[in-house]
Structure 1
Amino acid sequence: MKRKNNLFRLLILISLTIGYLVISGFAKHKLESSTIDRISIDIERYHDKYLISKDEILKLSSLEEQKSRALGRKSINIKLLEELLDNQKTIEKSEIFFTLSGELHIQVKPRYPLLRVLSSSKNYYIDNHCIAFPLSPYFSAHVPVIDGAINDEILEKIVSVLQKSEGDDFFNHFFSGFFVSERHEITAFSSRYDEVIFIGKSEQLEEKLLRLKAFYRYIYPTLENKKIKTINLTFGKQVICEYEQ
């Protein structure tokens, strides 16, 4: 009797397993053969502005020509589409998935400009990973510009300074631009003050900027004559000011 009960339970278990596999296979086949109802695109915004358009995302993902006709889920290679978008210079990261309602959803995080390279032969943005990407035709970002004899070492140090400036109550939005001479000496310009700031070589850049910060916070407010033309940070641990004539 006990053996019959065990056999009966085994038959029920086998039947349920077969039924589950049949239903799962049917559901999977139906899901793969179903068409996509719509394509939705969500782009992360930069200061409430879009640096890339939804039409451009469709074009870059090769979905633009297909959006007017029915697309089967089986025809969409999500991994390949993500790689295609992630390889675009203007995009930092993308994520693509199907929703339960039959929608193909594309999430895009564009690269955010931290610095703009501006010269006669080059004009592009740099992000916080020091990666170059093209200007946006939809929005011009208000970020510091850099011009002159720029090399990778100087660029990386300036990007590092700007990254740290974002969390600094004094240096946040302090710099409006930089110029690099043929001797690779850096001159900085402030969005708050009129003085030209001569930094010099990029060595000990952070220490020089700490001196500049201390000068503006503790010395500058005490000066009766604030008609300063240039501030020079190249002399040891000093801050040398040249006044207007």
Structure 2
Amino acid sequence: MKFKFNLKREIKIGAAIIAVLLLIAFTERRQGAVAIKDISVKLENVNENHFMDESDVSELMQLSQENLRGANIEKVNLKSIEKKIKQDPFIHDAELYSDLKGNVVARVELRRPVARIVRNDGPDGYIAEDGTLMPVSDKFTSRVVLVSGAYARKLLLQDNVMKAHDGKVSEEGVQLMQLIKTIREDEFWSAQIAQLDIDSKCKITIYPQVGDEQIEFGTPDNQELKFKKLMIYYKEILPRVGWNKYDRVNLEYEGQIVTE
């Protein structure tokens, strides 16, 4: 096979490569010399949970830089500021970047609460979709199922519902998150179930929106079977006896619905 060397073509290719490299170097140098002109915060909040707004995120950014606006981009550690923003319990994810004009853009995704832990002896807290514990906010109150009891209070001492104090995955915590997810994603259960009271042994009592009965769900295992029995109670038993017939409904026993 013959190879024909074209000097003019090789010179053009070499010149093009050098030009690209020079352009990249010039752009990087120019960007490094640019002062930050503006800060743009873009909240990704499709669930309309207004625990934070753009000004709150800007304040978080300023905590790591006394005067971020006007500073030299080259001297500002955007990754460090990004890491600091991610540490806020209301924020699920964040990304910071700058453009050639000197603008810094912060894209922030907020966490979504799925339950609220309530207690009489201290501040409440929220459980986020990923199991993270979040504080309450003066700006916004999310309408979610309430969680109370000794087990719920213990959860507030952790960072994540699905992890035990030693950092390992908690089976009860994973099951509890699945239970909350089932309630939230089902139109009937989300409308009917108001509160989950969980004792120190992780046994759950359900308090409904309509009706005065206490529904003893037990531990958060065998959820599908227990919800099927509870649906039988609502669809077949209550229409015959009335909503105020029973004070207690127990779903713990296999193949049975115990009512009193």
Instruction: Give the TM-score normalised by structure 2.
Output: 0.77
Distance 2:106 2:243 in 1: 58
* Alignment correspondent of 2:36: 36
Report the AA paired with residue 234 of structure 1: E
* Alignment correspondent of 2:147: 146
8 Å CA contact 1:43–1:107 kept in 2: the answer is yes
Shift in alpha-carbon separation, 1:133–1:6, aligned structure 2, 3 A: same
* Alignment correspondent of 1:127: 128
Shift in alpha-carbon separation, 1:175–1:155, aligned structure 2, 3 A: farther
* Root mean square deviation, CA, Å: 2.7
Shift in alpha-carbon separation, 1:203–1:13, aligned structure 2, 3 A: closer
* Alignment correspondent of 1:78: 78
Q: For the pair shown, which has the larger CA radius of gyration, 1 or 2? A: 1
Moved more, 148-157 or 232-241: 148-157
The answer to whether the aligner puts 1:236 opposite 2:254 as a matched pair is yes
Distance 1:98 1:12 in 2: 33
Shift in alpha-carbon separation, 1:50–1:11, aligned structure 2, 3 A: same
Report the AA paired with residue 214 of structure 2: V
Spell out the pairing of 1:177-196 with structure 2 (5 A cutoff). Answer: 177-196=195-214
Moved more, 127-136 or 193-202: 193-202
Distance 1:229 1:85 in 2: 48
8 Å CA contact 2:86–2:94 kept in 1: the answer is yes
Distance 2:64 2:234 in 1: 54
Gaps of 5+ in 1: none
8 Å CA contact 1:115–1:144 kept in 2: the answer is yes
| Corresponding residue SS for 1:236 | coil
* Alignment correspondent of 1:65: 66
* Alignment correspondent of 1:206: 224
Report the AA paired with residue 44 of structure 2: E
Report the AA paired with residue 163 of structure 1: K
Report the AA paired with residue 145 of structure 1: L
* Alignment correspondent of 1:176: 194
> 1:209: Cα distance to partner?
2.0
Deviations 1:74-130 (A, max 9, x none): 123333332222232221111222246542111111221111222224621111222
Report the AA paired with residue 252 of structure 2: T
* Alignment correspondent of 2:93: 93
Shift in alpha-carbon separation, 1:182–1:164, aligned structure 2, 3 A: closer
Distance 2:175 2:223 in 1: 8
Deviations 1:117-152 (A, max 9, x none): 222246211112222122223111111222222066
Moved more, 140-149 or 181-190: 181-190
Distance 1:19 1:105 in 2: 29
Shift in alpha-carbon separation, 1:226–1:31, aligned structure 2, 3 A: same
* Alignment correspondent of 2:22: 22
8 Å CA contact 1:46–1:112 kept in 2: the answer is no
Instruction: Give the TM-score normalised by structure 1.
Output: 0.82
8 Å CA contact 1:86–1:93 kept in 2: the answer is yes
8 Å CA contact 1:114–1:159 kept in 2: the answer is no
Spell out the pairing of 1:94-109 with structure 2 (5 A cutoff). Answer: 94-99=94-99, 101-109=101-109
Shift in alpha-carbon separation, 1:125–1:225, aligned structure 2, 3 A: closer
